[in-house]
Structure 1
Amino acid sequence: MTRLDLAQRRVLCASDENFDFDALLLATGATPRRLDIPGARLPHVFLLRTLHHCQELIAAVQAGPKRVAVIGASFIGLEVAAALRARGVQVHVIAPEAQPLARVFGERLAAAIVAKHEALGTVLHLGRKPVAIDADAVELDDGSKVAAAVVVMGVGVQPSDELAREAGIAVDRGILVDARLQTSAPGVYAAGDVARFPDPFGAAGQVRIEHWAVAQAQGRLAARNMLGFDEAYAQTPFFWSQHGDMTVAYTGHAERWDRLEESGDPQRSDYLCRFIAGERVLAVASVGRNLDSLREELAMQKALVPQG
């Protein structure tokens, strides 16, 4: 696809083969960010988004004893670090945050995740930013260098909304859609990582959630609405994140909260945390409490208010 002609209801392709449509779904996803620093495009610097990216990284570390620097300490960065440690690879993680994942999970669970990575043998360089990459090291903003034969850059993604923007469809950090996942162009829908939709919890305005379960649910709903149904998206998001033998389950969506209700100990795999705004539970994170997590998900689903 190279362009949308909304007036003619047509998709234009590079092959000169065009497709007319009555209804159209944009599921263009997102693209990994690459830091704008010297050496960011060297051949030993890897991004992760596709199976092919993963296979390339595995081949690189299997080629011989490697020391890997991971830039970024959010989900991609830390999960990659844990997976590489399981393969016996030396791993150094570089991140500007003093407490990775605290904005998502709160300080206590975030600290437990960091402690797990330290126990796995990962070396963390927190509060530091990379300023350059060369053939065998990453230079940090304090002048120090982290030796690395392979570098993985996990610093987030940006929505692939160019087609929509060029066609005049409303975008704002993603393609804006209503509760039925329809864009500002009638009959054109968006779903998945590229879509910015009304928060079904009514707490955060428009949100964009980068989890495959959300993309699947939105794809199904968009298809139904394209076929003539009139249904609002009201699905409780969920995901899990693996850090060695620690599995964190998260259901709901909380960009901010008033207070946390915590019980148990995440380092003992017995923990549950509710993220609360006002009197409403927006999200729940848990370790080792799968049944409780499912119960919380059901309760949140019942309380959802479809927007629009």
Structure 2
Amino acid sequence: MAAEHRSMNGPDLARGIRLADLPDGSKLVGHCGDAQVLLVRRGEEVFAVDAHCTHYNGPLADGLVAGDTVRCPWHHACFSLKTGEALRAPAFRPLACWWVEQRDGHLFVVGKRKRTEAATREFPVEAMPKKIVIIGGGAAGFAAAEKLRREQYAGSIVMLSDDEAAPVDRPNLSKDYLAGKAPESWIPLRGESYYSRNQIDLRLGTQAMSIEPRTREVILADGGSVSYEKLLLATGAEPVRLTIPGADQPHVLKLRSLADCRAIIERSATAHRVVVLGASFIGLEVAAALRARGIEVHVVAPDKHPMGRVLGPQMGDFIRTLHEKNGVVFHLEETASSINGNEVKLRGGGTLVADFLIVGIGVRPRTELAETAGLATDRGVVVNSFLETSEHGIFAAGDIARWPGPHSGENIRVEHWVVAERQGQIAALNMIGRSEKFNAVPFFWSQHYDVRINYVGHAEEWDEIMVEGDISGTDCLLRFKRDGRVLAAASISRDIENLMIEVAMEDEMVVC
């Protein structure tokens, strides 16, 4: 989660530094009063902004400056150096900016600039809907509502969520919060007052049963309805259900919601051994979190290499070794056949005893609303480059959306948190007439103990993996290539290279 506050370091920028100490294109961290400030020089311009990302407090001095933006090395949030605006998720809050003066060959930071409202662009008045309805309270839904208000959209926003909790920071449910290293107060994306203060009508525990495109209504489970002018489908995905005998017992758990995470934490208080079914990102992050609680963890999965389908065999073997060094026991190329009380029968003939189980065997997109409404679907909800579905005025974003991938040349669907947030932001702009294509490069991160893996791009298939550096030494960059073209890259401790590949992909350059 967020890093601890750090003591002031670097020069006192109020007293000034020599201009020569900040060459063109360079960065420097100093302080102004009790604030850490990042200086960036681009030609004759010098920018001064907060030194840490507003997402998880990542050090922007270790990030990448691209044009008049700076990108966080940890989770690829992007900020404007000119205004401090958070341009791309996962950060939503802006950076503070400072005034910089140049005198006698020196630079002085002379005070914090006042925050001004984001300037809105011109767009046709007739394109502005009076009411927008968002179905879904996850990453895409929250990001869309937040973006609408940040862009000064003054119309009605109704957000329908079948969850009982307001939008939460879901990645942390399998990381620090589950491990007991982060308090629950850090989990909500915004406090309760945010929604009322911004006139977002958030309706929790509300299930949408159907969509009527002809009358532009959403029919609710309680028999009521909500009208809309523009609609965003952000229903996300749901865990694949385990269908073996005994899978419906109360100690067989999943992890998707805050309630799921609380249930796991409650059982962890008295548990000694847990079986995790699935060696996916969620499964192994859960394994790492439960090991931090001192619980014995066994992982059962049909894969030969953990996470190998996404990261390849080399990284998969490293991840297995990393978890084994931390006490996780793997049962690979194996599946569970039945659950009888605390006994888990394996198809290979073995038996494991567990106080409880966690099922992480994948997710499926929640497309039922789209299908019954007659929208085009194909292993997800089909959208165009503007994230609009086959029905004019209805958009889709997040885990359910299958969109034209500009970097892969084919329609893709990606189940990543940051992708969902960024799609929610673009869908919000397009619902108010901006006509902006979604062309962000997919990105995700995965944390295992003290090792963070960053991944950019999208490679469902590859014919070559180029490995730079030492995977076992946690200093590496892997490029996933098909027909000589880099489709994706995974890295450990190579944040700048990872960011540079992201920028190059955005510029539609081939990285070799």
TM-score category, normalised to shorter length:
over 0.9
CA deviation string 1:47-106 (max 9, x = no partner): 0001111111011011x2420000000101111111111111000000011112222112
Taking the TM superposition and a 5 Å limit, the aligned residue runs for 1:50-89 are: 50-62=257-269, 64-89=270-295
> Which residue does the alignment assign to 1:25?
232
Report the residue type matching 2:215 in the other structure.
Answer: Q
Checking the alignment, whether the CA contact within 8 Å between 2:271 and 2:356 is kept in structure 1 is no
Distance 1:167 1:2, change over 3 A: same
> Tell me, what secondary structure is at the counterpart of 1:268?
coil
> Which residue does the alignment assign to 1:149?
355
Pick from 278, 282, 295: which aligns with 2:500?
295
1:133 correspondence with 2:339: yes
> Which residue does the alignment assign to 1:46?
253
> Which residue does the alignment assign to 2:434?
229
Checking the alignment, whether the CA contact within 8 Å between 1:66 and 1:149 is kept in structure 2 is yes
Checking the alignment, whether the CA contact within 8 Å between 2:254 and 2:358 is kept in structure 1 is yes
CA deviation string 1:6-36 (max 9, x = no partner): 1111111123332222211000111111111
Report the residue type matching 1:228 in the other structure.
Answer: G
> Tell me, what secondary structure is at the counterpart of 1:170?
coil
> Tell me, what secondary structure is at the counterpart of 2:399?
helix
Report the alpha carbon displacement of residue 202 of structure 1 after superposing the two structures with TM.
Answer: 3.0
Pick from 254, 257, 262: which aligns with 2:459?
254
Taking the TM superposition and a 5 Å limit, the aligned residue runs for 1:170-249 are: 170-203=376-409, 205-249=410-454
Report the residue type matching 1:219 in the other structure.
Answer: G
Structure with more contact order per residue of length (Cα contacts < 8 Å, sep ≥ 6) = 1
Distance 1:42 1:304 in 2: 51
CA deviation string 1:88-136 (max 9, x = no partner): 1000000011112222112111110011011111000001111101211
Distance 1:88 1:121 in 2: 10
Task: Detail structure 1 runs of 4+ shifted over 4 Å in the superposition.
Answer: none
CA deviation string 1:219-249 (max 9, x = no partner): 1111111111212110011111111122111
Distance 1:234 1:256 in 2: 20
> Which residue does the alignment assign to 2:32?
none
Q: Percent identity?
A: 46
> Which residue does the alignment assign to 2:369?
163
Number of aligned residues: 303
Report the alpha carbon displacement of residue 304 of structure 1 after superposing the two structures with TM.
Answer: 7.0
Distance 1:48 1:304, change over 3 A: farther
> Tell me, what secondary structure is at the counterpart of 1:196?
strand
Distance 2:343 2:507 in 1: 51
Taking the TM superposition and a 5 Å limit, the aligned residue runs for 1:5-16 are: 5-16=212-223
Taking the TM superposition and a 5 Å limit, the aligned residue runs for 1:114-133 are: 114-133=320-339
Checking the alignment, whether the CA contact within 8 Å between 1:234 and 1:304 is kept in structure 2 is no
Checking the alignment, whether the CA contact within 8 Å between 1:66 and 1:150 is kept in structure 2 is no
Distance 1:279 1:301 in 2: 18
Report the residue type matching 1:45 in the other structure.
Answer: V
Report the residue type matching 1:96 in the other structure.
Answer: P
Return the structure number with greater helix share.
1
1:268 correspondence with 2:473: yes
Checking the alignment, whether the CA contact within 8 Å between 1:32 and 1:158 is kept in structure 2 is yes
Checking the alignment, whether the CA contact within 8 Å between 2:233 and 2:394 is kept in structure 1 is yes
> Tell me, what secondary structure is at the counterpart of 1:49?
coil
1:2 correspondence with 2:221: no
Q: TM-score, with normalisation over the residues of structure 1?
A: 0.95
Report the residue type matching 1:217 in the other structure.
Answer: R
> Tell me, what secondary structure is at the counterpart of 1:56?
helix
Checking the alignment, whether the CA contact within 8 Å between 2:271 and 2:355 is kept in structure 1 is no
Distance 1:187 1:116 in 2: 48
Higher-Rg member (1/2): 2
Report the alpha carbon displacement of residue 151 of structure 1 after superposing the two structures with TM.
Answer: 0.2
Checking the alignment, whether the CA contact within 8 Å between 2:430 and 2:436 is kept in structure 1 is yes
Distance 1:133 1:73, change over 3 A: same
Report the alpha carbon displacement of residue 144 of structure 1 after superposing the two structures with TM.
Answer: 1.1
> Which residue does the alignment assign to 1:34?
241
- Structure 1 portions without partners, runs of 5+: none
Moved more, 16-25 or 282-291: 16-25
Distance 2:353 2:509 in 1: 49
Distance 1:233 1:65 in 2: 45
> Tell me, what secondary structure is at the counterpart of 1:106?
helix
Distance 1:193 1:65 in 2: 33
Distance 1:110 1:265 in 2: 14
Distance 1:36 1:17 in 2: 34
Distance 2:509 2:265 in 1: 41
Checking the alignment, whether the CA contact within 8 Å between 1:3 and 1:11 is kept in structure 2 is yes
> Which residue does the alignment assign to 1:90?
296
RMSD of Structure 2 on Structure 1 (CA): 1.4
